[in-house]
Structure 1
Amino acid sequence: MSSTLVPAHLPQDSLPENNLAQNKQPQNNLAKRAVEVHKFGGSSLASIECINRVIDIIQRNCQLDDIVVVSASGDTTDDLIEIFQLATENSDQLHQAIDALKQKQQALAKGLLSDSSVEPLTTAIEQDFALLAKWLQLDIRAHEAELLAFGEVWSAKLLAAVLAERVCPSYAIDAREFLVVDNDVNCQVDYKLSRDNLQQQLNSQQLTVITGYIARDNQGFPCTLGRNGSDYSATIVAAFTDAQNVTLWTDVDGIYSADPRVVPLSRKLHRVPRTVAKELGRLGNPVLHAKTLQPLERVGSHLHVASSFDPLTPGTEVGDFGHIAQRELSVTYLNDLLLVQSPSLIGQQGQSAFEQFNAITGDISAGELVIQLSQQKAVSEWLASYGTEIKFTPVSLMAVVGHQASKRANVKARFKRALKQQKTIAIYNSLHLDSIVAVLPQACSAELLNSVHQAVTKDAKHIGLVVAGLGNIGEQFLAGLPTQLERVKALENVHLVGLLSSRKSLYQLDGIEPEQAFTCFEQSAQPYQIDQVVEQLANHPYDELIVVDITPSEAFSKLYPQLFSHGIHVIGANKWAASAPLADYQEMLDLAQQHQALWLGNTTVGAGLPINYAIDDLQQSGDRIVEISGIFSGTLSWLFEHYDGKQDFASLLKEALAQGITEPDPREDLSGRDVQRKLLILARLAGFSLSLDDISCENLVPESLRSISLAEFLERAKELNEPFSQRLHAAQQQSQCIRYVARFGATAGQCRAEVSLEALPLSDAFASLTPCDNIFKIVSEWYQENPLIIRGPGAGREVTAGGLHSDLANACKQLSSKQHQVKLKGIN
């Protein structure tokens, strides 16, 4: 087992066992070596600040024996290319460019290392520039590959030195010492020789920093793997070491459904199937490149793409995923291409040409291939021997990429409709079935790409759903979910992915069939600790995640601030959060707003009745609420609608308990606390900053019966009879009835709020309800003489589950128009 990294300057006796041991001789068992490979691109290493950020990422994510692959820092490769061009042109600006680059590299070293550590590195840089001076006196063109390798070598040496000084034993390897490819055009790797070479280079219990982009050919000459070749280097090294994971740390936080520089509304693809990623790289995705994924096919390593500028944001995974990830779609494009048309490209000859020139797309039955512009001469020479007519046409391509895209008739039809107003030469299916490619006679414009992306991916936003609480209401909610998913268009991309009871949880990121939810839960759920919930949910691979909280748990409600901090949305029937202490409640509101997280809780009051919607709508419309009152408890509504003195109150209470109308302990209903919390929730929703202590609450349980056991309470329940009989008799003497009423009012800036047992005239709106009904009366500036009344069942599993489904549909409609900001630092 590899050891976790800790600062190198700690005394040895303070380190974990086997950590930061002295350098050992190279091991032969590479299967026990690199656990992970981490690659950092040039933008991630562009400055002192960037490199310090990389050091922090390595400390948090790497172990000893892991491997780090690096690109040249910042624009170093561009600077070296410019120097090469200036040298070949004998430009007067050459020495100025060389001095600027030398100063930049030395400044990085001096800004990151102590005086004792920096000297070897600055000396090595001086030696490299002295070597460059010698090449300039001869023929620089003979040393182009060596010149371009300087950037990666400097980057690897610098990072290894900083890590060795601050973190752990580290060393740099020049990839030219082990990596052998056929040539700098095909870049096909000699895996056995290169793997054996690397085996001799690796040291145990140290962090290895390897140069990306550079190699040597099978003649022993230095060469490069092409622009962006460092990603390819990283996956090659992963294949050599059987690494489990490869992380490409770049300047954008994942792979998107289109180039985010061109399409601002592109969506991050959290999980991309391996074959789809390969096709994306082939067809122009700016993050993935064609060769990057090839080595991983040998070992099946997992590929991650993440941002070094935002390392805590989950990136994109490339691997083997189920149907949800397979439904994702992307739109890519490539300009500066050629359509080659020739009879010699029909049939077997066309297949040979397709493979030899790695054609992008085409139709060999029609003798057509699409190639890179730079390949025109080579293709012409290859076809010349056949003596047939050849036609080259400048073209661009646009492609829809997704799992089995060419077999998905609706995708192809949508793509064709999106291109209806465009002149199109041809539309080809990919040979790998994962793309549909349109060849266009003109360059692909930003406007066209945005238009096609919108048309093709408009229904692609995926929403994960987690249900917490699997009691009666949870069971009813899940029972109705399949019908809702079919019936409500806003829910068509909602996927049930998590179930939580009070003791066990089940997460299946590829989806749980709602019809099989309880069966799956019984078979596969695992015990969990409540402090693990947010960590698990925060790493979800969906565009949005909604948690439906149907628990009565105060502990679960205390997770809301963390959920909101991760942008996770909450639909809550749980009253604890909405009636929390005022400071905590305000913090939750602020966090939800800050992180664009929705918090819907229509079922916290009135089950499925739209009281929350009504108050929110009045508020949003500019009305001002001055009074809220009503009967908010279905249990107390049932009790006092039935209590007429013919049956004693204790017997009626036990009857309600037997029917499941009350809580298991009826004192919870009789205490009035539930009504008190509901009134607080509504008052806050109406814009008033109240605390629970601001609402007086009449507890209907005598002091003598509050602290005893439930069994003793039920035995002594007859002690309730006399007090309630007196209250009822006094009301009846005045032709009134008794009802448990909640009242809130605001006058001249003063608020009053109470819940209590009241005597009401029989003509009062609260006096005659269907048992278990709730009633809400709202007085506002718009509803004064004739208040707004909302009445209906305020309890019951069916109506509460219905209210949750209403909130879910409302949330998904809001999220359909929500746009995420692309965290883009400038893709190379």
Structure 2
Amino acid sequence: MWQHAQRSESVSSRSRVHKFGGSSLADADCYLRVVELLKEHTSAGDLVVVSAAGKTTNALVLCSKSAGSNDELVKQTLTDLERFQGSLITQLLDGAAAKQALQSLSDDLNQIQTLLQAGDESARYNETVGFGELWSARLLAALLNQSTVPAGWLDAREIFSAQPGPQPEIDVALSQPKLAEQLLQRQEELTIVTGFISRGPDGETVTLGRNGSDYSATMLATLADAQAATIWTDVAGIFSADPNKVKGARTQPILSLAEAAELARLGSPVLHTRTLQPMVGRKTRLSIRSTFAATGSHTQIAPTQVGEKGAKIVTSLDKVCLISMNTSSRQAFEEATATIRAYLDRYQLVPLAKQYQPDQRLIRLCFTAEVAETAFARLKDFQLQGAFCNLTLNDNYALAAMVGDGVTENARHYHCFYRHLQDAPVEFIQPGEHGLSLVAVLRETDLDTLLSHMHHGISSPDKKLGVALFGTGNIGSGWLRLYQEQQHYLSNYHRLEVQLCALYNQDGAIIDFTGIEVDDWQARFQQHKEDMGFEQLLELLAGHPYDELVVIDATDSRDLAYQYPALMEHGIHLISANKYPASAPLSLYREITQQRKEKAVVWLNNATVGAGLPVHYVTGDLQHSGDEVVSISGVWSGTMSWLLQQYDGKQPFSSLIREAMDQGLTEPDPREDLTGEDVCCKLLILARQLGMEEFEMDDIEVVSLVDEEALEGSIEEFFANAEVFDRQIASAYGRAEASGRVLRYIARLERGGQAHVGLEFLDPSDPMANCHAGENIYAIHSEWFKEQPLVIRGPAVGPELTAGSVQSDLFKLCQHIKSA
């Protein structure tokens, strides 16, 4: 529901500007959609700029141009306009509001008929065509009020002052005080402002030309010092190419103002150069969004350069013209080109591209077809002064360009541009100013194919990463589900093609360097698996075609830990959910870490401690930032946390273990949780991360909950003979309860080397006594966190959380590969 905003003393500093074009107001349903958007995206004091609905402006232009020469056409067009605008009113407004709006429409149409009798064609045009915006503003304001959103409308001629001309510019000094006065009176409502029109020095209407409403919106945002401006249109922002011509074109999430301005200069249908001019040097955020897909992708335009250097967009114009001339030998070539450039600037005639050939004293200027005739006429007049001769105008040309900050410095994109043009009928190529574009002027050709090839060249990933998954149990299959959801995001975010290429478990392996589809991996695995030893598997993986390969170890295999050095020997990166490699005997651990350093591979194992909790990253960041971790303690077994929270002394503890096992909350052999081995592995991993590289498993004092005999035999034999074990746990629980304490399984690590894992009786007020079932708590004391520990707490049981941590490590590996 729409709410009044809490505003500061400076009204304008909190305001936002929204602009809706004709396509966004094309019919009654569109108006209703806009009302819902405004309810969601605006607050009191915000400003909304509107264009004329649908084709209203075209109809008014037709009336103005036909007045006096085709009165029947004018009469029919005004009748159609009255029918269209009247239909909008009757569909959207009720009762008195509709009656008043219809009367105002009738009065306006009578006034238009009078205006069309004026002899001055320019005045007739300007006064007539602005009525469309008036009708849109009045209707939208009335509809908002009817929808319980306080709104008023404002004729922009009350605030905007401009001099008449081909491209009128709003006078900031004259307009800003008028706007400030209006804003002070309109703090408690939305203000709907007419686009496209302004007031001239003699009180006449001055229309703002092509894209005038967009220009009105950005100028309004500038004058109001708005925090943001959004142009709502019928497209979802600015695409990497024309989606009607290029398959795979996607919305650009963010562009710099300079990139957007260059794209506009080259004829973008979404943006016009004048729209962006008011944003230069401002902090106002500008967004381009679709009225018809408000929650979808959109483009934000940032004041400064963003992202990596290189091409972001390929664009084209099917019809451009070339104006050619030869400069006089009486004047230096450089001086002549500067004179001609200054002359064209005077009339705001900026070429799309230009070619200078000093040896032939030749200048060639490329313009859009609609501008070329005006430029040619101006230059024809200027030619009489003798600065140049042989002035010609030729059409049947096209333009193709790459746009992006630093495109001329990106070797891959630069090469791509020239490579795809090598067989094209190119007239000339010009790198844009400030490295923002590469522009080619061509004789007319198949631009769609050319653009598709260029777009593929800039949008294809810079590198390819192959992923081999070892282990397809709970964690592995959980990661596969997550990978299926995140694959495109991962690739698009890093501009890196990420492809699953191998699955390996105890039943066999499949390797497919063309990629394995995840949605049917189980069926594919059963159908194509091969029984192969590790040496054969390693030999096949070593021959991979990718730039980089990573193995995700989602097993619980001790034997696989001994293969880590061999994997690293072949330059294969590793992501481990398997705890054993990082907690291996010291000799093996040293071999793994030495091989990692020598081969410069990445080994990430955040999933081995805390499941989805960022324990590794936090302790690592503390160490790297100059702090020193003194001790870590807490509840580190999600399984034991769940078991001891659920246990009430009334049911056998072993029955809870079986329940946890059935839910996938234990290690495959739950006795590993009961012996403390799982927690000891985590403790040893953290100790080594903190620099205690000589630390061994034997250095940990651990109190197992099961005796040696219980570890012998199968899991089912353990459950069958669990009576003594159950009595021991019940006894410990009873002693804790009798002393007013609770039973928890605690790990403690001191930097000095003291380490303990076992049951402890804790006071109920102790934070470690109050974790929820399945939670882990890591209390970190350091030089910076002496009195009060830094605490990481959260769920840490279940394969989904561990799979999420694996995915996080994969994301970080992609970052590393991309930046390498």
Contact 1:354 1:369 in 2 (8 A): no
The corresponding residue for 1:370 is 366
Q: Return the match for 2:324 from 340, 343, 348.
A: 340
CA 1:462/1:627 → structure 2, altered by over 3 Å: closer, same or farther? closer
Corresponding residue for 2:214? Answer: 231
User: What is the identity, as a one-letter code, of the residue corresponding to 1:107?
Assistant: S
Corresponding position of 1:317: 300
SS at 2:293's partner residue? coil
Residue in structure 1 matched with residue 792 of structure 2 by the alignment = none
Q: Secondary structure at the match of 2:273?
A: coil
Looking at structure 2, the residues matched to 703 and 428 of structure 1 have their Cα atoms a distance apart, in angstroms, of 68
Question: Which residue in the other structure is 1:169 paired with?
Answer: 150
Q: How does 1:530-549 map to 2 (within 5 A)?
A: none
Give the structure 2 partner of residue 517 of structure 1. none
How far apart are the structure 1 equivalents of 2:198 and 2:423? 47
Asked if the contact 1:359–1:369 (Cα under 8 Å) also holds between the matched residues in 2, the reply is: no
1:717 aligns with 2:715: no
1:271–1:318 contact (8 Å) kept in structure 2: yes
Task: List gaps (5 residues or longer) in structure 1.
Answer: 7-15, 20-26, 464-484, 493-545, 572-596, 640-652, 674-691, 729-796, 813-828
1:370-519 mapped onto 2 (5 Å cutoff): 370-371=366-367, 372-375=371-374, 376-386=376-386, 388-395=388-395, 396=397, 397-408=399-410, 410-442=412-444, 447-448=446-447, 450-461=448-459, 489-490=463-464
Residue correspondence of structure 1 range 35-184 to structure 2 within 5 A: 36-139=16-119, 141=121, 142-184=123-165
Matched, 1:353 2:343: yes
Quick check: 1:424–1:438 contact (8 Å CA) kept in 2? yes
* TM-score for the superposition, normalised by structure 1: 0.59
CA contact (8 A) 1:563 1:569 kept: no
Secondary structure of the 2:277 match is coil
Counterpart amino acid of residue 716 in structure 1: V
1:10-53 CA-partner distances (Å, limit 9, x unpaired): xxxxxx7969xxxxxxx99564352x111111111111111111
Question: CA 1:326/1:222 → structure 2, altered by over 3 Å: closer, same or farther?
Answer: farther
* CA gap 1:629/1:353 in 2 versus in 1, 3 angstroms: closer
Residues 87 and 140, structure 1, Cα contact 8 Å, conserved in 2? no
**What is the SS of the residue equivalent to 2:435?**
coil
Q: 1:720 to 1:214 in 2, by over 3 A?
A: same
Contact 1:179 1:194 (C-alpha < 8 Å) held by counterparts: yes
Deviates more, 1:709-718 or 1:204-213: 709-718
Q: Alpha carbon RMSD of aligned pairs, Å?
A: 5.4
Do the aligned partners of residues 240 and 321 (structure 1) sit closer, same or farther apart at CA in structure 2, a change above 3 Å counting? closer
Q: Give me the whole-angstrom Cα distance separating, in 2, the residues matched to 1:237 and 1:656.
A: 60
Q: How does 1:478-627 map to 2 (within 5 A)?
A: 489-490=463-464, 564=485, 568=489, 610=510
Map 1:162-311 → 2, pairs under 5 A:
162-202=143-183, 203-311=186-294
Q: Gapped runs of 5+ residues in structure 2?
A: 535-553, 562-578, 590-606, 610-634, 644-660, 680-700, 719-801
Deviation per CA, 1:315-365: give whole Å up to 9, x if none: 011114556354233222332434232416823312312422432132465
Instruction: State the match for 1:731 in structure 2.
Output: none
Q: Deviations over 1:607-637 (max 9, x none)?
A: 9965898897887779859999999964487
1:824 match: none
CA shift in 2, pair 1:714/1:282, >3 Å: same
Contact 2:2 2:149 in 1 (8 A): yes
Give the total of aligned pairs. Answer: 579
For 1:103, the aligned partner's letter is R
Opposite residue 490 of structure 1, the aligned amino acid is: K
Distance in 2 between residues matched to 1:392 and 1:598, nearest whole Å: 53
Rounded Cα–Cα distance in structure 1 between residues aligned with 2:14 and 2:806:
53
Query: What's the CA shift for 1:722?
Result: 5.6
Amino acid at match of 2:452: Q
Q: State the Cα distance separating 1:191 from its structure 2 match.
A: 0.8
What is the letter of the counterpart of residue 131 of structure 1? Answer: Q
1:109: how far off? 1.4
Are the aligned partners of 1:235 and 1:296 in contact in 2 as well (CA < 8 Å)? yes
Identity of aligned residues (%): 27
SS in 2 for 1:324: coil
Deviation at 1:807, TM superposition (A): 14
2:424 match: secondary structure:
coil
Contact 2:153 2:192 in 1 (8 A): yes
1:59·1:167 contact (CA, 8 Å) conserved in 2? no
Q: CA deviation at 1:808?
A: 9.1
Q: Is contact 1:272–1:326 with CA below 8 Å preserved after alignment? A: no
C-alpha spacing 1:601/1:608, structure 2 compared with 1 (3 Å): farther
> CA shift at 1:143, angstroms?
1.3
Once the two structures are TM-superposed, the CA of residue 313 in structure 1 deviates from its matched residue by 0.8
Alignment deviations for residues 232-263 of structure 1 (CA, whole Å, 9 cap, x no partner)? 11111011011121111110001112333333
d(CA) in 2 for partners of 1:313, 1:634: 42
Residue 429 of structure 1 and its aligned partner are, at CA, apart by 2.7
